[in-house]
Amino acid sequence: MKLYNSMSRSIEDFMPYHEKEVKLYTCGPTVYNYAHIGNLRTYIHEDILEKALGFIGYDVKRVMNITDVGHLESDADDGEDKMLKGALRENKTVWQVAAFYTDAFFTDCGKLNIKKPEIVAKATDYISKYIDFIKTLEDKGYTYFTNGNVYFDISKFERYTALSKLNLDELRIAHREGVEEDTFKKNPQDFVLWFTKSKFENQAMKWESPWGVGYPGWHIECSVISLSNLGEQLDIHCGGVDHIPVHHTNEIAQTESYTGKPWTKYWWHAEFLIEPKGKMSKSKGEFLTVSLLEKKGFDPLSYRYFVLGSHYRKQLTFSYESLEMAENAYFKLRKRTSSIAKDALLSSTDVLGKVENLTEEAQNLYGKFVDCLEDDLNTANAVTVLYDVLKSEVSTSEKATLFAYMDQVLSLDLLTPIDEKKVDASDDEVAWIEGKIIERTNAKKNKDWSTADLIRDELKAKGITIVDTAEGARWSKD
């Protein structure tokens, strides 16, 4: 298997610390609100990573943290406290907010067929271990105490910019722009390990510590939870690309200072899901959630199919039009794959035979699928192999068996019958919209502007927006 390593900025042969064991850590959600579909894009790709590793023969142990303790909106030590913000918004305690949105997160994951990690660790369950971790760093001379807070001194860690590849002078300039500087830091990039004093005087979550009553900095939880559950050396650490310059950089500094040895072999990062106006964010008012997609009539697995059509290291632009097209293709695909499985009397609960018992052509298709997974998780090509199987000359039984194997990773419910009314309705709606667009185009050519406007308004009333471009009219569903 080959994976892109953000540390080396190159695709590398995957060789874990122990031959067939993979210790995998994925940064989990901060549970102060629903996860938006941009967050969930990363979790879908991480799900594919875990399942692909298992599929090709590795024993994977995966850990995910749940950030249920106060965490500032910025990766640095500034911004708003997300948990407090959520509690004030909903007139609940921070504990109630954390419990509600933790459940909501895993409900969304279930709808997207994202497997729950073997170990899910709440940040608030590790307070005593954070304190022990900080005391060790303190004993080793990596910290300083000022203004009631314990800071990590980045000047004591030579490899601080190894992952980010950023110039510290440039970082200092960028850090100061629009941010109130913490004058108690020796270096602008020093980060807090334990707060007893911050701008949040009414912080709800506080604990006793050797430095006073307070709460941990955000970066510490991933280090301690990983060390506690996966040991001192980690094979793969996952997250979004926005974690590279600060959060993961700080994790490396504190963890390797604590253990005195190299920590993570492969740093894996997923790119953003973006909207035409830029990166998807929860701070822009109504943000896109799985529930919102469902309210608009979309199947959550259509979104999973849409996500798998792009590589995890490429930005993916979301629009309702593109999701509509993906859903149409997904429904048609699943109608065919489930029909084949029905004809072959094979269900997802059947025990699969050995690949070696398949015909040579079927084995080649299986191998082609595995090659796609091993090529830095090329999910788009892996989905294409499904269509290769459909077009192939292998028997119905072997096609069904191949779909069953592939769905162990893709998790698109390929063998589960789909309501054919969904497929028909999807086809009918797209055909109707495109027919209306053709009518409008012809009206405009004939300079019949009133008819063109009427058609535009008719589509708009049904939530369809038309944008005229040099290449022709494009539509999207609100």
**Is residue 338 within 8 Å of residue 417, measured between CB atoms?**
yes
Q: Is 372 within any annotated ligand binding site?
A: no
Q: Is 181 within any annotated ligand binding site?
A: no
Host H or E run for residue 54? helix 37-55
**Is residue 45 within 8 Å of residue 377, measured between CB atoms?**
yes
Nearest Cα to Cα of residue 64 among 1, 128, 114: 114
Report the DSSP pairing between strands 10-13 and 2-5. antiparallel
C-alpha distances out from residue 116 to 26, 65, 293, 306, Å: 11, 12, 22, 21
| 126/78 Cα distance (integer angstroms) | 23
Nearest Cα to Cα of residue 59 among 302, 235, 301, 196: 235
**Is residue 362 within 8 Å of residue 398, measured between CB atoms?**
yes
Q: Is 279 within any annotated ligand binding site?
A: no
Q: Is 27 within any annotated ligand binding site?
A: yes
| 478/293 Cα distance (integer angstroms) | 10
Task: List, as one string, the DSSP characters of 358-392.
Answer: S-HHHHHHHHHHHHHHHBT--HHHHHHHHHHHHHS
| 308/113 Cα distance (integer angstroms) | 13
Contacts of 239 (CB under 8 A, 6+ apart): 26, 27, 42, 247, 248, 268, 269, 270
| 13/3 Cα distance (integer angstroms) | 7
Residue with tokens 């913000």, as numbered in its chain = 85
What is residue 332's three-state secondary structure? helix
Binding positions for Zn(2+) are 27, 222, 247, 251
**From the annotation, which residues make up the binding site for ATP?**
282
Binding residues: 27, 222, 247, 251, 282
